[in-house]
Amino acid sequence: MAQFTNQAQLSYNNSVTNSNIAVGEILEVLSATKTAVMNDYVRNDDITYIISILNSGTAPFTGLTLTDNLGAYTWNETSLVPLTYVENSARYYVNGILQPAPTVEATETALVISGLNIPAGGNAIIVYEAEANQFAPLDVEGTITNTATISGIGLSSTITATETVFTEDVPELTITKSVSPVPVSENGILTYTFIIQNSGNTAADVSSNIVITDIFNPILSNLTVTLDGVTLPTTSYTYNETTGEFATVAGSITVPAATYTQSATEGFYIINPGVTTLTISGTV
């Protein structure tokens, strides 16, 4: 409840006297909660937020404005904003019924949704998406906390609703393949190089069960297989010289976690992937 005080003044002839101080309270009937559908993220993830506004009073609220700070945080005496509103993603429901699209103004620093109406004894739900951008923390235990503020006529004070999402602490792997030399001579040595990169904040260890498979065409013989320059034992892979089918044994390849640095001048995160290189050479 919001408390207020009031005092009157009486003046007559050349005299002034004050009344007692009256104390009252305003019963706040509007409340709000904010929830992320999924509470974890990686770079470029779209995060879906749901803001629920409940009116327990007997009078409607009209023309309210919702302002979301998109997770802004202070860094080196400046403000960085780790979320970007996904255009046209906002949806507005009143008592469960989809309404015409609300007025949305999105900038690099805030999201403003205006013209919201909350019926007496009813509720409104606003759903929208925001993308984790280059300013989103990526390290283990990284978080984004963003706050929505509701304001407008009839409210004794602004209402806030806050939600925190966390980095998804998992590997994020990609693989590229190259061949050399090009061209290769008949009965010559052909080399395939596989570069596995991990952009995630967690190493892909033995438990990740990484397996690389390939069917070589042309088929290679007299294989030599190395991992980061070290020869892999034949127990770490299988190869069929009749079909050219190659596969590593699950768990024989691991990839270190990425590291992250923040630009000293602009604050965006730079991903330095963890890298593992698999090289396979054989006679054509």
Q: What are the residue boundaries of the structural domains of the chain, listed by start?
A: 26-167, 173-283
- Please state which architecture CATH assigns to domain 26-167: Sandwich (2.60)
Q: What is the 3-state secondary structure (H, E, C) of the chain?
A: CEEEEEEEEEEECCEEEEEEEEEEEECCCEEEEEEECCCEECCCCEEEEEEEEEECCCCCEEEEEEEECCCCEEECCEEECCEEECCCCCEEEECCEECCCCEEEECCCCEEEEEEEECCCCEEEEEEEEEECCCCCCCCCCEEEEEEEEECCCCCCCEEEEEEEEECCCCCEEEEEEEECCCCCCCCEEEEEEEEEECCCCCECHHHCCCCEEECCCCCEEEEEEECCEECCHHHEEEECCCCEEEECCCCCCECCCEEEECCCCCCEEEECEEEEEEEEEEC
The CA distance from 38 to 147, in Å, is 17
pLDDT for the residue 1: 47
Q: What per-residue confidence (pLDDT) applies to 94?
A: 97
Strand pairing partners for 154? none
How does pLDDT run across 115-131, given as a tens digit for each residue? 999 999 999 999 999 99
Fold of 173-283: Immunoglobulin-like (2.60.40)
pTM: 0.82
Q: Would 26-167 and 173-283 be classified into the same CATH topology? A: yes
Per-residue pLDDT of the chain (284 residues; tens, 9 = 90+): 456 677 788 887 788 888 777 765 555 689 999 999 999 999 999 999 999 999 999 999 999 999 999 999 999 889 999 999 999 999 999 999 999 988 999 998 999 999 999 999 999 999 999 999 999 999 998 999 999 999 999 898 899 999 999 999 999 999 999 999 988 888 899 999 999 999 999 999 999 999 999 999 999 999 999 999 999 999 999 999 999 999 999 999 999 999 999 999 999 999 999 999 999 999 98
